[in-house]
Structure 1
């Protein structure tokens, strides 16, 4: 199977910026995509294609690059509508992207859908790609991160609200990585559209918003109906890293094919200024960002502890009628 690496850059100056984005430039995701494409070229993977609703604006941003270093462009036809203040607004349009590519990709080509704020460090293993091609899907199960953070009962509840049914083994799939054959996409998209409609109707009841909610629900239902799905995280095809998070040792990510940095967008935008992606430079900057994050987390814990101690002292003094 051939690979079609692709990312979504949905531009809407009136919409809320991404929840993890601090850059108010609506084209900052193009800079992240440039870095991703440079990293793909370094590991000799196919060039990235940017699917966007604003091809002229994106092309203008890419114009300074040499033609052989530019990501390809495809025009996205948006086929959904939702309020522009919806959290993770732009990510919802991945559904339109998948719908469009389900009809456009050749039968021998798998979609590799990536978020722009990622880098490729190693080629994807051939045996993993073969397994995903045979199964139809390769997806990134992040239930072990999402369930403890928000409570498994609440997460499963959201998935079952969106799916409209009880799920046998509910899993939450990260939206940053999806491998899918065109035939599998044609099974996924109708279910995802059905669940997207329910997701919009029930949005006030949901704790989780974004494409992961209705795409995860659709994948769960397909699996319940017999669809095979390869969990790619176990193969270290992708890892999600937050600065300062000690969920995994930083060294673990060096063995991943792709690293997703939702809290490291600024780092990737700086990397895009270089003509080539250099892993050692990237790792050096990522480690600095990680340790800064660790310090921030430590200071926040200390501040919370001091607040609790002060409140406890104030409560004791108040009961005794003594000023603190």
Structure 2
């Protein structure tokens, strides 16, 4: 089974920037994709294809990069409509990308949908690819990160609102990694389109927005109906890393095939300046960013404790004053 690595770069200056993006350059995601493509080349995976609504603008960012290092670029046939101020606006168009890929991929090729702010560190395990090909879908379950952060009741409620049904075992799947056969995509995309329409109509009731909401709802209902699904995170096919976060020891990520850095886009853009991706250089910079993040988290905790102490002290003074 062959792989077709692809990523979405949707450009619209009138839309709200992504919540995790600090670079207001609309082409910054293209720079990140160049880094991702360099890392794919290094581990022997196929060239990245950027699917975009603005191929000419995307290609402009390749200037200064050797042509043999350029990703492929494909025009996106965008069909969905949504408010420009919707959080994660651009990511919603992954649904159009998936629809387009489902119609064009040969049966012996699996879509490997990746976010641009990722790097490939190791080749994907061949036995895992075979398992995903047999099942039809390999997805990244991040419920253990999302449920504690937002409350399982809130997350499950959103999934069941979008799906308009009770789910047997609700799971939240990360949008940065999806491995799927064309046949499975042809089952997933129509379901996701139906749920996207409901997601849009119910958006005021939802706590969570973005492609993960309606894609996760679609995956959950397909699994409930018997669709096999391989959870790729357990195999360390992909890990989501936030600098300074203690969710996992940073060394765990060194054994992942892919690392997603939603808060490390600037690091990836710096890495893209180099002709080739060097893991040792990447890890050196990642460790520095992680230690800085740890320091920021510690300072925030100290500040919260001090604020609570001040509030308690002022409350005590106020009580004594009232008694006096």
TM-score normalised by structure 2 residue count: 0.99
Provide the C-alpha distance between the structure 2 equivalents of 1:44 and 1:63, rounded to a whole number of angstroms. Answer: 24
- What stretches of structure 1 of length at least 5 have no aligned partner? none
Provide the C-alpha distance between the structure 1 equivalents of 2:163 and 2:169, rounded to a whole number of angstroms. Answer: 13
Q: CA deviation at 1:62?
A: 1.1
Q: CA deviation at 1:52?
A: 0.3
SS in 1 for 2:216: helix
Partner of 1:64: 64
SS in 2 for 1:262: coil
Provide the C-alpha distance between the structure 1 equivalents of 2:168 and 2:38, rounded to a whole number of angstroms. Answer: 41
Provide the C-alpha distance between the structure 2 equivalents of 1:296 and 1:35, rounded to a whole number of angstroms. Answer: 27
**Is the counterpart of residue 248 in structure 1 residue 248 in structure 2?**
yes
Provide the C-alpha distance between the structure 2 equivalents of 1:207 and 1:263, rounded to a whole number of angstroms. Answer: 21
**Is the counterpart of residue 161 in structure 1 residue 161 in structure 2?**
yes
Partner of 1:297: 297
Cα shift readout 1:30-56 (whole Å, capped 9, x = no counterpart): 000000000000001100000000000
- What stretches of structure 2 of length at least 5 have no aligned partner? none
SS in 2 for 1:308: helix
Q: How does 1:1-324 map to 2 (within 5 A)?
A: 1-321=1-321
Q: CA deviation at 1:65?
A: 1.6
SS in 1 for 2:61: helix
The count of aligned residue pairs is 322
Point out 4+ residue stretches in structure 1 off by more than 4 angstroms.
none
SS in 2 for 1:175: strand
Q: CA deviation at 1:67?
A: 1.5
Please give the root-mean-square deviation of Cα atoms over the aligned residues, in Å: 0.7
Choose 56-65 or 158-167, whichever is displaced more. 56-65
Provide the C-alpha distance between the structure 1 equivalents of 2:194 and 2:260, rounded to a whole number of angstroms. Answer: 28
SS in 1 for 2:111: strand
Provide the C-alpha distance between the structure 2 equivalents of 1:67 and 1:45, rounded to a whole number of angstroms. Answer: 18
SS in 2 for 1:46: coil
Q: CA deviation at 1:63?
A: 3.0
SS in 2 for 1:321: helix
Provide the C-alpha distance between the structure 2 equivalents of 1:64 and 1:222, rounded to a whole number of angstroms. Answer: 45
TM-score normalised by structure 1 residue count: 0.99
Cα shift readout 1:49-100 (whole Å, capped 9, x = no counterpart): 0000000000111132211100000000101000010000000000000000
Provide the C-alpha distance between the structure 2 equivalents of 1:263 and 1:166, rounded to a whole number of angstroms. Answer: 33
Q: CA deviation at 1:320?
A: 1.1
